[in-house]
Structure 1
Amino acid sequence: MYKQEIKVMDCTVRDGGLMNKWQFSDNFVRGVYNACVEAGIDYMEIGYLSSEKAFDRSVYGPWKFCLQKDLERIVGKNETNLKLSAMADIGRIELDDIPMAADSALDMIRVACYVHQVDKAVALAHHCMDKGYEVCINLMAVSTVNEHELDEALKDIAASRVKTFYAVDSYGSMYVESIQHLVRKYINALPGKEIGIHAHNNMQMAMSNTYTAIMEGCTMLDATLMGLGRGAGNCPIEILIAFLKNPKYRLLPLLQVIQDYVHPMQSQIDWGYHIPYLISGALNAHPRRSLEWMDSDKKNDFVTFMKEMHDNEILE
């Protein structure tokens, strides 16, 4: 599947950090960075930009904040073709926390928001653009948004200066038909803007949904090493690269960092396919409850979890 315009973003550290509060070793982050450089990956999302007023540094690792001193420790001046990205959540970052792009190793900031926050997301995105960054907006939890709300949000995005907008399957609940509908809707509503795809794997559909998004015109593709990410994880980057058949990408460096750093981490972090994540995906529910269940001594009592989730979803 060779398409010259496609760009791949590795989100291993940013999304995977949701499973260990971004407490990755420098060797791990540097290993991922070096592998992305050697593999020809276009972007690496190295963490979040967050306010220290919102998060405690004694609890969260450095990749929740992405300070320049931490970035330099890993990438130096990043004199490579790999661009670095960080994500900013609405309400968890202050404008003064964002340095000028000229003073940062970051090239891109991705603004994550819910549908009722789109106006604030556009304002933050414009602020970042004015500081010299590439910018995307990722609209989260779109599987819970009705068509009217989404249409109104897309009008705001269309009128903005933001060049890239992401289709996001936050709950890992979508099938290919939903992705097809969503991407077509975005492309029609946002002429001239680039569309990306960020898929979660609760229903084991992340790769299929990413493939469908490519077929429908998405050119920014998110993935992570061995699917490392929140809960069930994401589209595995090694599968994506094997599929793309693009000569600018190399699979071997990704396999090396998986072998050296990511695969051994499975003994510490319980991500990937597990029944509680399937249940939250099937019910189109936020995975927070399944994450809590997986951390409890009842993690293998799937039937009780299903009953509790089903009852709670009906009540909600």
Structure 2
Amino acid sequence: MNTNKIHIVDTTLRDGSHAVSHSFTADQAVAVSEGLDKAGVEMIEISHGDGIAGSSLNYGFSKQPEMELIKAASGVIKNAKLTVLLLPGIGTIEDLRMAQENGAAAVRVATHVTEADIAIQHISWAKQAGLFTVGFLMMAHMATPEKIVEQAKIFADAGADYINLADSAGYMTPEDVRARIAALKNAVSLPIGFHSHNNLGLSVANSLAAVEEGATYIDATCRGLGAGAGNTQIEVLCAVMERLGYNTGVNSFALMDVAEDIVEPLMQRPQVIRTDSLLLGYAGVYSSFLLHTRRAAEKYGLTPREILVELGRRGMVGGQEDMIVDVAYELSRKGT
């Protein structure tokens, strides 16, 4: 038996929002949250895919205001921490205050992997407000282990409870993950978490590599629902962890039921690795760009591949969704 407790963070109702064009309703949030809570999941994240206040023309409008989803879910979550994601520059401290009033008990403050300093005030406020607070570094493949350590220390000094590393493009291999998690584990006294996308089919392997290097918080979603080819599939991850003797505190059979009976009927398409989602991982492009890219490709008579390869070449990062249309227009003009 492996002695470390592995904390499972479910982000079906946040990252999964990308895959359903932010169409979750309060009733769906209640059903999913109640099932996950009963299954023993410790943190249940609910937000627009791009964090609280993400509902916009640039990122996609939510079908129902996220504060209504958070409030509804808070009524059925008995044991887990109801968690929200906040990206400084999209969400504000006032948005976070509103989320807490509606039942949020934890926040993960996310920045690009080299921009932790823009989250200092948000993390400090959240800690003072009594929220369990996480520093979340996105697009981790774009920085060296040494740079990641530097940025994580900014979160730690601001008061974060743990540091979460995100392979937002699904670009990393297990060796990439090991190098970054090991560096954090050796340099930062806080717990370490990991968030993976399955664009190269490596999310479970990468999550296991993170755990083997000392990560104790792992993100996952039911049926892998999420941006790009999706996230680490929670029912698969927990079954594998159980086989390997790790203590997750979750009921794997109950998770399988939530995934199959509650989440799968909500999905607009199977969460599989298609060519365009594979290209996200191949080119190192932010996973939530996928649906935006498909729409731009159709509008300008291009293939998603042409756009994604160019986005990767330019090193586009989260928050630059508006550039997808600009890139598609430029590419279409080159062909005239």
User: Same fold judged by TM-score > 0.5?
Assistant: yes
Aligned residue in 2 for 1:129: 127
Instruction: Spell out, residue by residue over 1:143-188, the C-alpha distance to the aligned partner (whole angstroms, 9 max, x if none).
Output: 1124564353234234332120012101000000000000011112
Among 201, 206, 211, the alignment partner of 1:204 is 201
In the alignment, residue 252 of structure 1 is paired with which amino acid? F
Among 218, 222, 227, the alignment partner of 1:221 is 218
Aligned residue in 1 for 2:62: 60
Q: What is the CA-CA distance between 1:295 and the residue it aligns to?
A: 4.5
Distance 1:292 1:4 in 2: 40
Aligned residue in 2 for 1:75: 74
Give 3-state SS (helix, strand or coil) of 1:285's partner.
Answer: coil
Distance 1:218 1:151 in 2: 14
Aligned residue in 1 for 2:277: 277
Matches of residues 82-101 of structure 1 in structure 2 within 5 Å?
Answer: 82-99=80-97
In the alignment, residue 186 of structure 1 is paired with which amino acid? L
Distance 2:248 2:76 in 1: 26
In the alignment, residue 80 of structure 2 is paired with which amino acid? L
Aligned residue in 1 for 2:253: 252
The 1:281–1:247 alpha-carbon spacing in structure 2 relative to 1, beyond 3 Å, is closer
Kindly indicate whether the alpha-carbon contact (under 8 Å) linking 1:101 and 1:133 is maintained by their aligned counterparts in 2: no
Instruction: Spell out, residue by residue over 1:72-104, the C-alpha distance to the aligned partner (whole angstroms, 9 max, x if none).
Output: 3333274x2111100001101222222288744
Instruction: Spell out, residue by residue over 1:224-278, the C-alpha distance to the aligned partner (whole angstroms, 9 max, x if none).
Output: 0010001110000001111222473212222222222322334x24543111111
Aligned residue in 1 for 2:118: 120
Kindly indicate whether the alpha-carbon contact (under 8 Å) linking 2:294 and 2:304 is maintained by their aligned counterparts in 1: no
Kindly indicate whether the alpha-carbon contact (under 8 Å) linking 1:43 and 1:82 is maintained by their aligned counterparts in 2: yes
Distance 2:159 2:297 in 1: 49
Instruction: Spell out, residue by residue over 1:114-162, the C-alpha distance to the aligned partner (whole angstroms, 9 max, x if none).
Output: 1343112122111111111000011011211245643532342343321
Distance 2:96 2:314 in 1: 41
Distance 1:154 1:161 in 2: 11
Kindly indicate whether the alpha-carbon contact (under 8 Å) linking 2:114 and 2:148 is maintained by their aligned counterparts in 1: no
Distance 1:251 1:36 in 2: 11
Give 3-state SS (helix, strand or coil) of 1:255's partner.
Answer: helix
Kindly indicate whether the alpha-carbon contact (under 8 Å) linking 1:12 and 1:229 is maintained by their aligned counterparts in 2: yes
Instruction: Spell out, residue by residue over 1:15-70, the C-alpha distance to the aligned partner (whole angstroms, 9 max, x if none).
Output: 01112342113332222112112211111112245348x7379931346x3x2x54
TM-score (norm 1): 0.85
- Unaligned 5+ runs, structure 2: 316-336
The 1:61–1:4 alpha-carbon spacing in structure 2 relative to 1, beyond 3 Å, is farther
Q: What is the CA-CA distance between 1:14 and the residue it aligns to?
A: 0.3
Kindly indicate whether the alpha-carbon contact (under 8 Å) linking 1:172 and 1:203 is maintained by their aligned counterparts in 2: yes
Give 3-state SS (helix, strand or coil) of 1:179's partner.
Answer: helix
Give 3-state SS (helix, strand or coil) of 1:129's partner.
Answer: helix
Distance 2:20 2:192 in 1: 29
TM-score (norm 2): 0.80
Among 177, 183, 187, the alignment partner of 1:189 is 187
Distance 2:14 2:28 in 1: 13
Aligned residue in 2 for 1:13: 13
The 1:24–1:184 alpha-carbon spacing in structure 2 relative to 1, beyond 3 Å, is same
Among 80, 101, 106, the alignment partner of 1:108 is 106
1:238 equivalent to 2:235? Answer yes
Q: What is the CA-CA distance between 1:308 and the residue it aligns to?
A: 5.6
Distance 2:173 2:101 in 1: 42
Identity of aligned residues (%): 25
Between 1:152-161 and 1:117-126, the stretch displaced more is 152-161
Distance 1:101 1:288 in 2: 23
In the alignment, residue 74 of structure 2 is paired with which amino acid? V
Distance 1:127 1:25 in 2: 29
Between 1:211-220 and 1:40-49, the stretch displaced more is 40-49
* RMSD of aligned Cα (Å): 3.0
Q: What is the CA-CA distance between 1:221 and the residue it aligns to?
A: 0.9
Q: What is the CA-CA distance between 1:105 and the residue it aligns to?
A: 1.4
